[in-house]
Chains A and B, each alone.
Chain A
Amino acid sequence: MLLISCPNCGSRDETEFHYGGQAHVPYPENPNELNDREWAEFLFYRDNTKGTFAERWLHSTGCRQWFNMLRDTVTYDIQAVYPMGTPRPATAAPNAAESGTASLAADSTTTGTAGPSIAAPSTSATSITATSTTQSGTTAPEGATK
């Protein structure tokens, strides 16, 4: 069970949340100009990152608000929680003492204290930049977008 720090509600069980897939996938500026392949890639193709991944989450049985999260897909280490619409924060240098593992996440249930604090070992997984529609520095193995 992950403990996820909702920016509004504080630390809650994973079962209260709904996963919203990869974050920072912008809607095409001119959808009409896309060919079928590009449109399909926007709709269905997502990075399959091994390591730090930016994703959207919804606190569905709590405050019903969306937020973004940086999570390590290998260790499940939650590295940052940040509002919708803000750019992906850079991951800080490894700092084992403060790494936001699930059990050490901000733990007040009555106050929303979770800011975008970033401190975690980043298992940098990929170096090949994706060709896809992702705006920010999200990377994925090349095969992920083909």
Chain B
Amino acid sequence: MANTAALTGINGLREIRRSPASHLAKALEAGSVPGKIVLKEGPFQTMAGVRVDPTSEEGTRIASVTGGLPARCGEVAGTEGLSVLWLGPSEFLVVAPEEAHDSLGGDLIGSLTDALGDAPGQVVDLSANRTTFELSGPRARAVLEKGCALDLHPRSFTPGTALTTEVGNIPVTLLKTGEESFRLFPRASFADFLGRWLLDGMREFASPEVP
């Protein structure tokens, strides 16, 4: 969202980087109802798309960098501050804080690439591919259920689970971070649409409840 002043580098390009939904920041704030539902765009993150056979030797090497690989749909592996989301049987999305990126002093992409080596598979820097929306509050589930057909009830969708599905008719990876908080990963070009779609879904909760 906002520039992180502490982070400089990449020939000054970091300072002019704008997140895909930065133009909605004010609207997101205005549309949020603290105590009921809050929507904001998350900070930049380092993301890497990894395709590797998790049962292979190279899969084991990748897992040792990321702190494990999720075994099935919904699972999230990883360590403190680093999540590995299951996208497919041999496809994973590694999500880490922005500082983990090699251009900002980290070594995530490089160490993943080294771990894969010449083995079949791929490691692709996808840090600019998706943005994140953070939706939280007791009404978060109700908003998502307006446009997501999955069973989002806590008995079935538990914190620390991530599912790739559709929200508001667009492809989204949905991560449940807490009992009442979700993180949505839409592709950058869908950020404007999804931001406005969520705002629209939140609007009823700004009005007084009809008894």
In the complex with contacts A64-B87, A64-B88, A64-B91, A109-B151 CB distance below 8 A: yes
In the complex with contacts A8-B89, A13-B149, A63-B73, A110-B156 CB distance below 8 A: yes
List residues of chain A with CB within 8 A of the CB of B157: 109-110
Chain A residue total in the interface (Cβ 8 A) = 17
Does A8 lie within 8 Å of B169, measured CB to CB?
no
Among A10, A15, A110, A112, contact of B169 (Cβ-Cβ < 8 Å): A15
Does B73 lie within 8 Å of A111, measured CB to CB?
yes
Chain B residue total in the interface (Cβ 8 A) = 19
Does B73 lie within 8 Å of A16, measured CB to CB?
no
List residues of chain A with CB within 8 A of the CB of B89: 8, 63, 65
In the assembly, what is the distance between CA of A111 and CA of B157, in Å? Answer: 11
In the assembly, what is the distance between CA of A8 and CA of B89, in Å? Answer: 8
Does A16 lie within 8 Å of B166, measured CB to CB?
yes
In the assembly, what is the distance between CA of A13 and CA of B165, in Å? Answer: 9
A-B contact count (CB 8 A): 53
A62 at the interface (CB under 8 A from B): yes
B residues 76-133 touching A (CB-CB < 8 Å): 87-89, 91
Encoded as 1 (CB less than 8 Å from any B CB) or 0, chain A from 6 to 23 comes to 001110110110000000
In the complex with contacts A13-B149, A109-B163, A110-B157, A65-B88 CB distance below 8 A: yes
A61 at the interface (CB under 8 A from B): yes
CB distance from A83 to the nearest CB of B (A): 11
List residues of chain A with CB within 8 A of the CB of B163: 9, 109-110
Does B88 lie within 8 Å of A112, measured CB to CB?
no
B residues within 8 Å of A by Cβ?
72-74, 87-89, 91, 149-151, 156-157, 161, 163-166, 169, 171
